[in-house]
Structure 1
Amino acid sequence: MDWGSVAGLALGLAALLGGQLLEGGKLAVLLQPTAMLVVVVGTLAAVLLQSRPRAFRRGLLMLRWVFKPPPDRSLEIGRELTNWSLVARREGMLSLERYAKAVKDPFQAKGLRLIVDGVAPAKLREILEEDINAWESAEQQAVRIWEAAGGYAPTIGIMGAVLGLIHVMGNLSEPSKLGSGIAVAFVATIYGVGLANLVFLPIGVKLRTLLQRETTLREHMVSVFVDIASGDNTRVVEERVTHWGD
């Protein structure tokens, strides 16, 4: 569990509610289902309109990474690659076939299969880099739904406030209700700006950081696969993976 994310979300909510209480306001004023409906559903609609269904679903699934990030596999993979290099040097490239069948990561399995098939190092790098680019592009589209939500939410919050003000203006015959009506109308703006800057945009930044970590790891793996395919000494691989977990 990433307690930093939990603490950040809790502190952001506490700041909003605490500020309302310190100003002498009531928490009930901030609980407006209509405003929340307009902002959340409106933002969802806008994101759906601009996104491909597959990217949207993937983006929602990636949300769990915010609170439970995927483990950093750098050291583990570094040890595996070093071992594969040693096996290839001692037993030959074909000996890696059993590892290609056993490994669970499709990217690692693909790299091993290319080595076993005798693909030239330059061509191997080209194939794996194309694989990384395609994977990264799909993942970035998924992350982008949260960044898009952070862009749309404030504007839709303003739209909600305007709708509320239209309702208030329709009741000008009751001046005593104008103040509270206007206050309620602007709650939609708070929802829009608050969700964008305390939830959607931070989620997007965190997911992009995790994605960059995985992309960098895959790029390092490509270099090692090329070393193995070239028949380089295992010491070269060891030097490459030494600082992966730093």
Structure 2
Amino acid sequence: MLDKISFIAILGGLTAILAGQALEGGHIASLVQVTAFLIVIGGTASAVMLQSTPRQFMTGLQMAKWVFVPPNFEFEKQIRDIVGWSNTSRRSGLLALEGYLNAQKDPFTKKALQLLVDGGEPQMIRDVLEVELEAHEHARKLAAKIWESAGGYSPTMGIMGAVLGLIHVMENLSDPSKLGGGIAVAFVATVYGVGAANLLFLPMAHKLKHLITLESTARELVIEGIVAIANGENPRQIEARLRGFQAITD
């Protein structure tokens, strides 16, 4: 499902900048500078790659699509499934849940259900699943951090582009025809650096952090439900407890 607000936000930000440039009497074409783009984006990408492991960098790039097509965390369906498993286990025992294993698309949920079917002790099940949850969440956050880092590096790269542009200007003071291009690169590079950081990279990082929190919450819901079933709790009590996790999605 597309996250329309992300598209609207990016288009709105770009439109505001371009409209402001036009209203001030400037030419929109003057903001198109390939040299400035290469300095800012290329330099930022290189800095982020240097600070990251290959897996973190590639995972972070893959997670960028979450901003526009976020994962569907079906809290309501999870609760219904867990309550249903609870009812089945009370009627027919834990081994009756084995028939639900193949229907689980989420590896974490499938593993949790398998531990339950295998008759694991409640505390053991919780310990195993929480370790996996923490490791997965930590890896996700490190991957998403590449966008936060990009938001920190790009303004600096914009300043570097500005300095390089001014150096070019100083080298050609004797040739007025070359001054305009050098000054344009200098200022446009700064616009690219600051704009990319504040309109794209940093907002993306914050949105990914929120989605990672939702993913972890969905897994915590599974842990609580599976452990409650292992403890033999009443299905109604389990449902009431799991409903509390929905507050984070509001």
Coarse TM-score class (shorter-chain normalised) = over 0.9
Displacement of 1:3 in angstroms is: 1.3
Distance in 2 separating the partners of 1:184 and 1:41? 15
**RMSD over equivalenced CA pairs, Å:** 1.4
What is the match of residue 170 of structure 2?
169
Alignment partner, residue 139 of structure 1: 140
**1:78 touches 1:244 (CA, 8 Å); kept in 2?**
no
| SS in structure 2 of the partner of residue 156 of structure 1 | helix
1:179 CA displacement? 5.0
Partner Cα distance (2:182, 2:113) in 1:
66
Paired residues for 1:41-60 under 5 Å? 41-60=42-61
Q: CA deviation at 1:177?
A: 4.8
- TM-score (structure 1 length as normaliser): 0.96
1:102 Cα deviation from its structure 2 partner: 2.6
Number of the residue aligned with 2:104: 103
Opposite residue 164 of structure 2, the aligned amino acid is L
When structure 1 is superposed on structure 2, of 4-13 and 15-24 the one drifting more is 15-24
TM-score, normalisation: structure 2: 0.94
Task: Provide the residue aligned with 2:66 in structure 1.
Answer: 65
Displacement, 1:149? 0.5
Whether contact under 8 Å (2:161, 2:185) holds in the other structure is: no
**One-letter code aligned to 1:173:** S
Deviation at 1:242, TM superposition (A): 3.0
Where do 1:1-246 residues align within 5 Å? 1-175=2-176, 177-178=178-179, 181-246=182-247
Question: Which sections of structure 1, spanning at least 5 residues, go unmatched?
Answer: none
- The residue type paired with residue 26 of structure 2 is G
* C-alpha separation in 1, matches of 2:71 and 2:177: 55
Distance across 2 between alignment mates of 1:140 and 1:243: 24
Quote how far apart the aligned CAs of 1:188 are: 0.4
Deviation at 1:22, TM superposition (A): 1.4
Q: Deviations over 1:147-175 (max 9, x none)?
A: 01101000011111111111110001134
What letter matches 1:150 in structure 2? G
Q: Post-superposition shift, 1:15?
A: 1.4
Task: Identify unmatched segments of 5+ residues in structure 2.
Answer: none
Q: Secondary structure at the match of 2:29?
A: helix
Structure 2 CA distance for aligned equivalents of residues 156 and 96 of structure 1: 56
Q: Cα offset for 1:72?
A: 3.0
Aligned partner letter, 1:25? G
Q: Secondary structure at the match of 1:173?
A: coil
Q: 1:117: how far off?
A: 1.5
Shift of 1:79: 0.6
- Percent identity of the aligned residues? 53
Q: Is the 8 A contact 2:224 2:242 kept in 1?
A: no
> Conserved in 1, the CA contact under 8 Å of 2:98 and 2:117?
yes
Asked whether the 8 Å contact 2:217–2:245 carries over to 1, the reply is no
Amino acid at match of 1:206: K
How far residue 99 of structure 1 moved from its aligned partner, in angstroms, is: 1.3
Q: Distance in 2 between matches of 1:143 and 1:210?
A: 10
Do 1:154 and 1:196's aligned partners in 2 also have CA atoms closer than 8 Å?
yes
Q: Does the 8 Å contact 1:147/1:200 carry over to 2? A: yes
